[in-house]
């Protein structure tokens, strides 16, 4: 089954404790992206990756890091989480040459609470 | 820059009636795509329908149709014969040529509640 998986699905942590949210896709997609969703703001892009070892900032990259060492994985790293990073996080993937008609495939979401 | 505006924070509709969720957009891209997603209370993002900026006809997918008015820059979602399971958050989104079609820009969403 074609899918994007994220782990963990739920996480409660404390300020300053480094954490990683994993994202993996089994569709051999080149493009992967992270979004955060906050009430009243919709989804905003954090980082994206066009392929292995190619990443770039989205609209709200502060406080986050990413890496793309393998095509299927795109982890999101919070080196020193703060309460304003409490949010619902989505990973998404799509083929690089998708064109306009292809949507992005979303993972199930990770609900992060930073105390 | 691209921007999506959804002016209806919440909408109510009775079961079996039709409902229109508004979406207006702003872009200077000559070519772009418009999407609608449904987010039920479980949280996942479900793709509903797509409209390309050069498509001549309005997109339809089952009970969903997209009322695309290019000159007005609007892309409203019409849900016919609403069902209780349609109660959810709905997001309009777009992607354009200038961002390589790889970035989705989302609106703030409309929460739809379908009553029996």
E strand residue ranges, chain A: 4-7, 10-13, 19-25, 31-38, 42-51, 54-57, 65-66, 76-78, 87-94, 105-106, 110-114
- Per-residue b or e along A29-68, where b marks 16 or more CB atoms closer than 10 Å to that residue's CB: bbbbbbbbbeeeebbbbbbbbbeeeebeebebbeebebbb
Report residue A20's pLDDT band, with 50, 70 and 90 as the boundaries.
very high
Would you report the helix, strand and coil content of chain B in percent, each value rounded to 5?
Answer: 5, 50, 45
Residues of chain A with Cβ-Cβ distance to B101 below 8 Å are 98-100
How far apart CA A35 and CA A56 sit, in angstroms, is 13
- Taking only the tens place, the pLDDT of each residue in B53-73 is 988 899 999 999 999 999 999
User: How far does Cα B45 stand from its chain's mean position?
Assistant: 13
- Taking only the tens place, the pLDDT of each residue in B21-59 is 999 999 988 888 999 999 999 999 999 999 999 888 999
Say yes or no: A97 contacts chain B, CB-CB below 8 A.
Answer: no
Closest CA to B45 of A99, A46, A108: A108
Residues of chain A with Cβ-Cβ distance to B104 below 8 Å are 33, 35, 43, 45, 92, 104
Compute φ and ψ for B15, nearest 5 degrees. Answer: -50, 140
Q: Please determine, for residue A102, whether its predicted confidence score (pLDDT) is greater than 90.
A: no
| Option in B43, B45, B101 nearest A99 (CB) | B101
Smallest CA–CA distance, residue B63 to chain A, in Å, is: 19
């Amino acid at each position: 089954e074609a899918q994007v998986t994220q782990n963990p699905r739920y996480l409660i942590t404390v300020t300053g404790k480094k954490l990683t949210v994993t994202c993996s896709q089994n569709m051999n997609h080149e493009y992967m992206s992270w979004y955060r969703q906050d009430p009243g703001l919709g989804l905003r892009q954090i980082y994206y990756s066009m392929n292995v070892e190619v990443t770039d900032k989205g609209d709200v990259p502060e406080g986050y890091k990413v890496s793309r060492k393998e095509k299927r994985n795109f982890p999101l790293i919070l080196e020193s989480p703060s309460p304003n990073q409490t949010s619902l996080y989505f990973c998404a993937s799509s083929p690089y040459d998708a064109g306009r008609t292809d949507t992005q495939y979303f993972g199930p979401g990770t609900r992060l609470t930073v105390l | 820059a691209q921007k999506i505006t959804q002016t209806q924070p919440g909408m109510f509709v009775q079961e079996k009636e039709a409902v229109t969720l508004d979406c207006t957009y702003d872009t200077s891209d000559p070519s772009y795509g418009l999407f609608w997603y449904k987010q039920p209370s479980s949280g996942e993002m479900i793709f509903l329908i797509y409209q390309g900026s050069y498509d001549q006809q309005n997109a339809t997918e089952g009970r969903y149709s997209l009322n695309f008015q290019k000159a007005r820059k609007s892309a409203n979602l019409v849900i016919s014969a609403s069902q209780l399971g349609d109660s959810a958050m709905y997001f309009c989104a777009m992607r354009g040529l200038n961002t390589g079609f790889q970035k989705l820009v989302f609106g703030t969403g409309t929460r739809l509640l379908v009553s029996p």
